Amino acid sequence: MIQSNQNAPFTVLIVGGGIGGLTLAHFVRKAGWRAQVIEKRPLAEMLSGPGGIFIQLNGLSALRQLDEGRLAEALYAQGGSVLAGGFHREDGSPLYLNDPEFVGRQDLGVCISRADLQQLLYRDLGPEVVFPGSGLAHFEQDEGGVRVQLEDGTVLSGDMLVGADGLWSRVRTILEERARPAAPEYSGYCCWRGLFSVPDRQILPENSSWAEYWGFGLRFGWFHVGGDRYSFYAFKNTEQGGADEGSSLAGLRTLFGDYAAPVPAILDALEGETIYRDDICDRPPIKGPWGKGRATLIGDAAHPVQPNIGQGACQAIEDGFELVQALRAGMTAGQTVAEALRAIEEQRSKRVTRVFKVSRQVGELAQSDTRWGVFARNQLYRLMPNWLGDLQFRWLFDYEAEWRSDKLLPKA
């Protein structure tokens, strides 16, 4: 049965202080339990990140359950609401335009710089909850609980362990009894991203808060992240492990300099800004439960996906919310921690497998690099009615998180 160690509050050890780990810590505390987040990076690094991120309606629905909606409101205050926008050909002609009105909403979510998001998530947790600067080295568990050893020798114990430690998860590696993490699957394309400033929107089209431009094996996108700040990203089909020779911006100018406005002006606005380059990878989903005993995984540690539908972090947020709901329900029903964890992993695996597949499909279309592939893709998007495009993603956006009172928790 789920109960606490030695009369201390039920303690959840969380490995990783990214979006998934920090959000989970909030849900754990809302349940009245203790959260301890182990983060290998120093605090300043943990509170930063490349470019911006789109938190969609499903992720926001879960975040709204925290602090009576104030955390979600803070995201809107700091970031930029996702309003009208669309996909275009490289010459600027529209392929698919979207507007929150089509789905009867005020907006489609919020875009925010990763640094701002990390800082907002950290703000109410602080040093009592988050221990940065030393990574998880090892963990062991028995019927009584979990003990972790950090790289600096610190030992912590708790009632359960959650690996929220990303694509190269150490927790997953230990669960899979490997010496080193298995290699993820390379998507075939790399990504550049970063932030830029545009005072008074000068170079950007009116009435849109984001746009993406599709070429041959190339994509360029931008979105508003609040105030005068914007985020850009660019994808290119290329070999794995590539690096920029010389300046990244010069390379981007060669690839996208002849794209429609505002792309060349955005490239000018990137002068002097930091540009990050990464290979894009995912991992085929694990069928069924992915944890063992009192240990589980959430977010990219469990199910990393390609970024084409902007759902990786949103799923990590959903994971945290659903995990805590399942544990609360399990406590009411007299389940063990392991039983509650296996049940929620099974439940989540169906949804995240669908996200994984759709993310790959969209990536294959969007990164088309043959004449026929690009023609077929452009026709498909140009002819698709908006209502059909929106309908395809309703299963994602219609997710409604609801923090149930203890009395209403379902029997697990």
Ligand X SMILES: Cc1cc2nc3c(=O)[nH]c(=O)nc-3n(C[C@H](O)[C@H](O)[C@H](O)COP(=O)(O)OP(=O)(O)OC[C@H]3O[C@@H](n4cnc5c(N)ncnc54)[C@H](O)[C@@H]3O)c2cc1C
In angstroms, give the least distance from the CB of 280 to ligand X: 6
Residue 20 within binding range of ligand X, rule CB under 6 A: yes
Phi-psi region of 126 (alpha: psi -120 to 50; beta: other; left: phi over 0): left
Element (H, E) at 231: strand 229-237
Peptide bond into 94 cis (omega under 30): no
Does residue 212 belong to the site contacting ligand X (CB under 6 A)?
no
Using CB under 6 A, which of 307, 320, 330, 363 touches ligand X?
Answer: 307
363 interacts with ligand X by CB under 6 A: no
Among 11, 12, 18, 72, binds ligand X (CB under 6 A): 18
Listed ranges 25-33, 164-172, 237-245, 365-373: which one lies at the site for ligand X (CB under 6 A): 164-172
Our separate counts of H helices and E strands in the chain read 13, 18
Distance CA 359, CA 366 (A): 10
* Among positions 46, 195, 218, 234, the unique one binding ligand X when judged by CB under 6 A: 46
Residue ranges of E strands in 90-184: 94-98, 109-113, 130-132, 136-142, 145-150, 155-158, 160-163
Candidates 175-183, 204-212, 285-293, 295-303 — which segment interacts with ligand X by CB under 6 A?
Answer: 295-303
Site string for ligand X, 314-353 (x = CB under 6 A): x-x-------------------------------------
Q: With contacts defined by CB under 6 A, name the span among 40-48, 212-220, 241-249, 330-338 that binds ligand X.
A: 40-48
Residues 51-80, mask of contacts with ligand X (x by CB under 6 A): --xx--------------------------
Q: Which of 36, 61, 141, 311 binds ligand X (CB under 6 A)?
A: 311
Residue 129 lies near ligand X (rule: CB under 6 A): no
CB atoms within 10 A of CB 203: 17
- Report the distance separating Cα 352 and Cα 315, nearest Å: 7
According to DSSP, residue 107 is labeled -
Helix, strand, coil proportions of the chain in percent (round to 5)?
A: 40, 25, 35
Q: Which stretch binds ligand X (CB under 6 A): 10-18, 174-182, 205-213, 364-372?
A: 10-18
> Which one, of 175, 224, 159, 189, lies nearest residue 10 by Cα?
159
Among 14, 191, 225, 267, binds ligand X (CB under 6 A): 191
Query: Binders of ligand X: how many residues, by CB under 6 A?
Result: 35
Distance separating alpha carbons of residues 29 and 403, to the nearest angstrom = 13
Do 13 and 170 form a contact (C-beta atoms < 8 A)? no
* Residue from 92, 133, 135, 184 binding ligand X (CB under 6 A): 135
Please give the Cα distance from 168 to 184 (Å, whole number): 8
Q: How far is the CB of 17 from ligand X (least distance, A)?
A: 5
Nearer to ligand X, 54 or 196 (CB): 54
Q: Residue 7 gets which letter from DSSP?
A: G
Return the SS3 of 65: coil
Does position 412 interact with ligand X (CB under 6 A)? The reply is no
Question: C-beta of 376: minimal distance to ligand X in Å?
Answer: 25
Closest distance to ligand X from the beta carbon of 291 (Å) = 15
Q: Which residues bind to ligand X, rule: CB under 6 A?
A: 15-21, 38-41, 46, 53-54, 135-136, 164-166, 170, 191, 193, 233, 278, 280, 299-301, 307, 310-314, 316
